[in-house]
Amino acid sequence: MPQTNPVISDPAPRPLTSINDEESLFRQSVREFAENQVRPLASEMDEQGKFSSDLLKQFFDLGLMGIAIPEEYGGQGGSFFNSILAVEELSRVDASAGVIVDVQNTLVNNAILRWGSEDQKKLYCTRLASGTVGAYALSEAGSGSDAFGLATRAEARGDGFVLNGRKLWITNAYEAGLFIVFANAAPEKGYRGITAFVVERDFPGFTVGKKENKLGIRASSTCELILEDCVVPAASILGELGKGYKIAIETLNEGRIGIGAQMVGVAQGSLECGIGYAKERSQFGQPIAKFQGVQFQIAQIATELEAARLMVYNAARLKDAGEDYVKQAAMAKLFTSQVAERTASQVVEIYGGYGYTKDYPAEKYYRDAKIGKIYEGTSNMQLNTIAKLVIGDM
């Protein structure tokens, strides 16, 4: 029979100084929800490549989709750090659940709270906190790491704009009702023509296209967006005309901390499964957890995981304190994605042949871990950012 994974309370305890009592209670409540409501559905959602609509509704009912949105707009009035804790705990059980909450909180909500007008905050934050999923549409087929090479255009027409182009790899797009779309309103100015627009799903000329069939985080939707003479009112401009590049850069800096939290959660969940299996699996007359070779493997990945977690927490704390965190965010995303991939790979080997089958959870964690090195800035782009900040002017 496939293994039923025991819930391990906390095999890698957090330092007491890294999290206060209120945050600890919040984290525990999210963990209990993840164990009781998300874990039973994780395998089925992965197989079907679709996230449960009932589970998504529970995310809103529990306030997980508007953690840092002020209470005056219907949110929880929490911190960015709270959002990070939620992403980590959900990802420990299912990375798809983690990234849905991550994109909503660290990208979409953050962008509107920071750059939106008061009218936009009242209109959109209220919806994002209560039942509307958001998506962040920057990437295109020819514009990935070169985010400012986007081809989507915004032409001023009447009292608004007409958008034309295609977006690719847009997380949450299948479920989303609201999209932050980046388009160039003045191509002759290069990246200084890029503008961010808040686009509603029912705007004329806007279509959600193909849903990708992915290796990992399969329950999280990733779709193409098609804009064909999409009519957008001027009131939908987020921030200022031509300042979209600034919004993109700074929002993604914050989002990298969220991906770091996702990868920490994936690594934590994978490690717990590996420990549980090593205690149950016997060879040569004893559990394999008693062999020093296996013990050393677990000790090494547990140590790397703790370091990764502290890097994420540090970046999140800096962000909440209003301090410079760009280098720390890039380092956290780079390192956590490496740790998650190494951890999940090692756990597959601890399981042996069983780890290669879908009857056990190890292979899913392995598939889910891979995306950490790719989205919201590839590992090479993180290295590029870190190098510039460490070396400085030359």
- Which residues are marked as active site? 376
Tokens linked to 310: 């502290």
Q: Which residues make beta-bridge pairs with 206?
A: 227
Please check whether residue 129 is in contact with residue 77, taking contact to mean a CB–CB distance below 8 angstroms.
Answer: no
3-state class of 226 per DSSP? Answer: strand
Please check whether residue 170 is in contact with residue 140, taking contact to mean a CB–CB distance below 8 angstroms.
Answer: no
Q: Is 183 left (phi over 0), alpha (psi -120 to 50) or beta?
A: beta
Encode burial over 266-286: b for 16+ CB neighbours within 10 A, e otherwise. Answer: bbbbbbbbbbbbbeebeeeee
Q: Is 205 left (phi over 0), alpha (psi -120 to 50) or beta?
A: left
DSSP assignments along 309-354, one per residue: HHHHHHHHHHHHTT---HHHHHHHHHHHHHHHHHHHHHHHHHHGGG
- State the Cα–Cα distance between residues 385 and 174, nearest whole angstrom: 31
- State the Cα–Cα distance between residues 122 and 199, nearest whole angstrom: 16
